[in-house]
Amino acid sequence: MKKWSVKRKVTLWYTVFMTLLVLLMLFILFFVGRNQLDTTLKANMQKFVAGAVTEAEYEDGVLEVDEELDFFWNGIYLSVYDKEGRIEFGRVPGGVAFEDMPYFKNNKIQEFTVQGETYLVYDLYSQTENEYEIWVRAVASKDGAESGLGVLVKLAAVIFPFLVILIAVGGYFVTKRALRPVNRIRRTAEEIARGGDLSKRIRLGNGDDEIYQLADTFDYMLDRLEDSFRREKQFTSDASHELRTPVSVILAQSEYALRNAEELEEAKDSLQVVHRQAKKMSGLISQLLTLARADSGRLKPNMEHINLSELLDILIQEQAEKAGEKGIRIHSNLQSEIMLYGDETMLMRIFINLLQNAISYGKENGNIWVILKENEKEVQAYVRDDGIGIAPDKLERIWERFYQVDPSRERKESGSVGLGLPMVKWMTEAHGGTVKVKSEPGKGSEFILKVPKNK
């Protein structure tokens, strides 16, 4: 039973069910039908006899009946006897003698058998007006009445099995057809498993039964999987690419120094380049590590009560110097004593990233505005600049890993590889918050951070 296919199991189940149903129906047809026939026959006999009694009368010592009286009706034979049991009128079924029948019993139905055939007999005693006594008797073959039913049951016994076979075969094909898409789903899954080609889809087409829905869900899942595999691949290739550049600079510089540097001073120049590149690599590696840990769910915020107003104030002072080099002024409007339950390191990295971006992509002698405020539900922070801005079609992409609007420009900056904003987004979300951006090319950008307050 274990290895049976669904279509076989289903077919077997309803074939057995149908067979039982047919047997039950035959049974009901036969027994209920027979009972019904029996009751009708008995009622008819009584009616027949009761009718005849009123028709019979003695005239001048001779029993007479209405000439129109029939002695056979609906399979019932009628006969009239005098009190000695001599037949006066009527008939009994052929092959039945008076002696075969039970003696008269008033208003009773009795049963008797002659040559294997069962008969019913019903008697009614009557006294005519002239005080003559008569018996009116009805006799009918019970088997005869049931013979019609027998034919019906036999017919049903032949037709029903045919119907069951028809239903079983028809049902088998319908189930087979209905389950064909399942086979296709299985085959697709198998092909993907064997060949590793995630671009395969089931594509069952139109239809809205459960199997079509399953196929659609399956295709949707494959879309998502393919997408995430593609991104994973892209991430690895981007990461290797970003690491390769500083490594080749380090190799070139050290080789140059080894070959050409005679004096320590000369070597120092190369060492400086090597040091810068190594620092860049170290920064990149630590960013990659953070993201990898975040992806695997191992990076959990270390929550504590933080005075965000103070923290942000210190960070702004730190960045002010770098901003000053570009002639940028930072204007801050921080509501004091804003407390947040969060991870201090993460919050610092979020704001350092946003401030550094605002400086990097801000214009010379421009401005940066930082606003911090809160309401009952959340803490809101705004970091706005009047720098180069971001084109609307690039706006959503800045949250992607390694995405840079203008790679040639940004690559000059140390350690800038397009991982900052994805990290900002991840860390904000780790605090249950959201980060959004509004920007207009040439006018500037604004990053809006909202973090819910925990009790």
Contact flag: residue 445 with ligand ADP (CB under 6 A) = yes
Bridge partner residues of 113 (DSSP): 118
Q: Which of 215, 417, 449, 451 binds ligand ADP (CB under 6 A)?
A: 417
Q: Which residue lies nearest ligand ADP, judged by its C-beta? A: 420
Q: Which of 421, 435, 449, 451 binds ligand ADP (CB under 6 A)?
A: 421
191 CB neighbour count, 10 Å cutoff = 12
Minimum distance from residue 406 beta carbon to ligand ADP (Å): 6
Question: What torsion do the CA atoms of 404, 405, 407, 410 make, to the nearest 10 degrees?
Answer: -80
Give the separation between CA 221 and CA 88, rounded to whole angstroms. Answer: 96
Contact flag: residue 410 with ligand ADP (CB under 6 A) = yes
Give the separation between CA 122 and CA 266, rounded to whole angstroms. Answer: 140
Main-chain dihedrals φ then ψ at residue 426, nearest 5 degrees: -60, -45
Minimum distance from residue 442 beta carbon to ligand ADP (Å): 11
In three-state secondary structure terms, 145 is helix
* Token pair of 44 as six digits: 């008819």
Minimum distance from residue 354 beta carbon to ligand ADP (Å): 8
* Token pair of 249 as six digits: 């600079």
Contact flag: residue 366 with ligand ADP (CB under 6 A) = no
Output 337 or 413, the one with its CB closest to ligand ADP: 413
Contact flag: residue 352 with ligand ADP (CB under 6 A) = no
- Given a contact cutoff of 8 angstroms between Cβ atoms, the answer to whether 85 and 135 are in contact is yes
255 CB neighbour count, 10 Å cutoff = 11
Output 328 or 358, the one with its CB closest to ligand ADP: 358
Give the separation between CA 217 and CA 187, rounded to whole angstroms. Answer: 16
Contact flag: residue 291 with ligand ADP (CB under 6 A) = no
- Given a contact cutoff of 8 angstroms between Cβ atoms, the answer to whether 91 and 69 are in contact is no
Output 137 or 425, the one with its CB closest to ligand ADP: 425
Pick the stretch among 45-53, 174-182, 249-257, 399-407 that binds ligand ADP (CB under 6 A): 399-407
- Given a contact cutoff of 8 angstroms between Cβ atoms, the answer to whether 342 and 451 are in contact is yes
Query: Considering CB under 6 A, how many residues would be counted as binding ligand ADP?
Result: 22
Contact flag: residue 420 with ligand ADP (CB under 6 A) = yes
Output 184 or 349, the one with its CB closest to ligand ADP: 349
Contact flag: residue 334 with ligand ADP (CB under 6 A) = no
Minimum distance from residue 453 beta carbon to ligand ADP (Å): 26
User: Scanning residues 217 to 276, which ones bind ligand ADP (CB under 6 A)?
Assistant: none
Output 340 or 355, the one with its CB closest to ligand ADP: 355
Give the max Cα distance, the chain.
169
Q: Which of 204, 288, 311, 358 binds ligand ADP (CB under 6 A)?
A: 358
- List CB contacts of 201: < 8 A, sequence separation 6 or more: 188, 219, 222
Contact flag: residue 121 with ligand ADP (CB under 6 A) = no
What value does the CA radius of gyration of the chain take, rounded to a whole number of Å? 52
Output 90 or 389, the one with its CB closest to ligand ADP: 389
* 356-359, long-range: CB < 8 A, 24+ apart: 356/319, 356/322, 356/420, 357/420, 357/421, 357/447, 358/383, 358/384, 358/385, 358/387, 358/445, 359/319, 359/322, 359/323, 359/326, 359/328, 359/385
Contact flag: residue 311 with ligand ADP (CB under 6 A) = no
Output 309 or 445, the one with its CB closest to ligand ADP: 445
- Given a contact cutoff of 8 angstroms between Cβ atoms, the answer to whether 15 and 167 are in contact is yes
* Binding map of ligand ADP across residues 369-398, x = CB under 6 A, - = no contact: ----------------x-xxxx-------x
Contact flag: residue 319 with ligand ADP (CB under 6 A) = no
Output 164 or 350, the one with its CB closest to ligand ADP: 350
Pick the stretch among 90-98, 114-122, 166-174, 351-359 that binds ligand ADP (CB under 6 A): 351-359
Distance, CA of 194 to chain centre = 27
Q: Which of 90, 181, 366, 418 binds ligand ADP (CB under 6 A)?
A: 418
Minimum distance from residue 331 beta carbon to ligand ADP (Å): 15
Q: Which residues form the interface with ligand ADP (CB under 6 A)?
A: 353, 357-358, 361, 385, 387-390, 398, 403-406, 410, 416-421, 445
